[in-house]
Structures are given as C-alpha cells and as structure tokens.
Chains A and B, each alone.
Chain A
Amino acid sequence: SQTIHQWPATLVQPVGSPLSLECTVEGTSNPNLYWYRQAAGRGLQLLFYSVGIGQISSEVPQNLSASRPQDRQFILSSKKLLLSDSGFYLCAWSSEGSQPQHFGDGTRLSIL
C-alpha cells in the first residue's frame, strides 16, 4: 500500500532563517505531488505541485520554492523565512489530477 511521510512534525524557526521540509511517498511510482499551507483556522492554500521529476508548478508567488529531485521526493524550501510563513504545511500525493489526494501528517511551522 502507499504511504506518505513528512518531517519534521513541528518546527520553530527565527525570522530570516532558511527552511527545508521534505516529503516522500512509498508504494507508488510517478505520483503527482502537492504542497499546501494552512493558516490557523483557514483553508488549504496550494503552494506548488509537480507531475514529474524536475517539473514544478507554482500557484502563489512568494519566498518559497519547491524541488523534486527524485520521483517520490518533494522538498519545500525558503532562503529567508518571514513571519507570514507560519502555518501548517501539508504534502499530498495522487496518481493523477482526477484522483483522490492523500495527505501527509503535516509540519507545524512557527516563526519567531
């Protein structure tokens, strides 16, 4: 069966520090991969998605970037975090756009 792993579960970072969140999927090949951010009490904001290695689509311009160095690995990065980057970051995968997305457990990021 397929599983999705996200780490770390929680992260506290100072303003201006770099960020790297990693997501990996097991049990499937060539998945679509997604990064979402969720502010407290708010909806799901799609940040990036990828339909293949090296293919990244950005939904919202900001100081974040994403990379997909391997088929089942998706990384979210920032060179300098802002206070507004705080939130709950969720990675998800699907077999294609018209199929269910399955979410990881998320990373709760606090910026101080």
Chain B
Amino acid sequence: GENVEQHPSTLSVQEGDSAVIKCTYSDSASNYFPWYKQELGKRPQLIIDIRSNVGEKKDQRIAVTLNKTAKHFSLHITETQPEDSAVYFCAAEGFQKLVFGTGTRLLVSP
C-alpha cells in the first residue's frame, strides 16, 4: 500500500521568508496529492491539491510542485506571515482513502 514520508517535522522561519515542506510517496499509481493546514485545536483544512497531470499549481502565496518520476511533491509558502503558523500535512491517494504524512509544524516568527 501507499506510504508517505514528510520532512521536516519542524520548521522555523522569520516573517517574510519562504517555507518549503517536502513529501515522498511510494505508490506510483497515486494521482492525487492534497495538503492540509491544521491550526491548534482545530480540524485540518484543505489548502491546495494537485493531480498527476500537472507539475505545479499556485494559489496566491502557496504553491505545490509534483515530480512523478521521483515520487515526491512539495509545498511552498512565500512571504510567510505569523498566521501561517500551524501544522501542515501532505497526503497521497490510496485505495478509497488518503495516506497522510506525519506533519510539519511551521512556526513563523514576527
């Protein structure tokens, strides 16, 4: 079955810097890769997703890139703000489910 690894587990940046979170997956048949943001005590919320027929997708300050050959995908946040501080989870499509990474705690310092 699908296995997803996520790095780093913790990421600290200064406000205005960029942040990059990377994930690798094992099942070459996976075609759907969402990213979720979870603020403290809240539910995970979808922030961006990408399918295997595109290599990059952007939505304002966030972007996701996908390399199907290498089986890895990344989340890029530019011009980080304190409100970007949260735990971010990547996921890959499994059979009738999503397989989640272990999460990255992003701390943006003013």
- A residues with a Cβ closer than 8 A to B are 32, 34, 42-44, 46, 49, 51, 57, 90, 94, 96-106
CA distance A102 to B49 in the complex (A): 13
CA distance A46 to B92 in the complex (A): 13
CA distance A96 to B32 in the complex (A): 11
Interface size on B, residues (CB 8 A): 20
> In the complex the two chains form, is B89's CB within 8 Å of A98's CB?
no
> In the complex the two chains form, is B89's CB within 8 Å of A49's CB?
no
| Given A43-B100, A43-B102, A90:B43 Cβ within 8 A | yes
Number of A-B contacts (CB under 8 A): 48
| B96 interface neighbour in A97, A100, A102, Cβ under 8 Å | A97
Residues of A within 8 A of B89 (CB): 43-44
- In the complex, chain B residues 35-50 whose Cβ is within 8 Å of any chain A Cβ: 42-46, 49
Residues of B within 8 A of A105 (CB): 42-43
Additional A-B contact list (14), CB under 8 Å, known A43-B101, A46-B100: A32-B96, A34-B97, A44-B89, A44-B100, A44-B103, A46-B97, A49-B97, A57-B96, A98-B31, A98-B32, A98-B93, A99-B32, A105-B43, A106-B42
CA distance A94 to B46 in the complex (A): 12
Within the complex, what minimum Cβ distance (angstroms) separates B87 from chain A? 9
| Chain A residue nearest to B30 in the complex (CB) | A98
> In the complex the two chains form, is B95's CB within 8 Å of A100's CB?
no
Within the complex, what minimum Cβ distance (angstroms) separates B44 from chain A? 5
> In the complex the two chains form, is B101's CB within 8 Å of A104's CB?
no
Within the complex, what minimum Cβ distance (angstroms) separates B60 from chain A? 18
> In the complex the two chains form, is A106's CB within 8 Å of B43's CB?
yes
Residues of A within 8 A of B31 (CB): 98
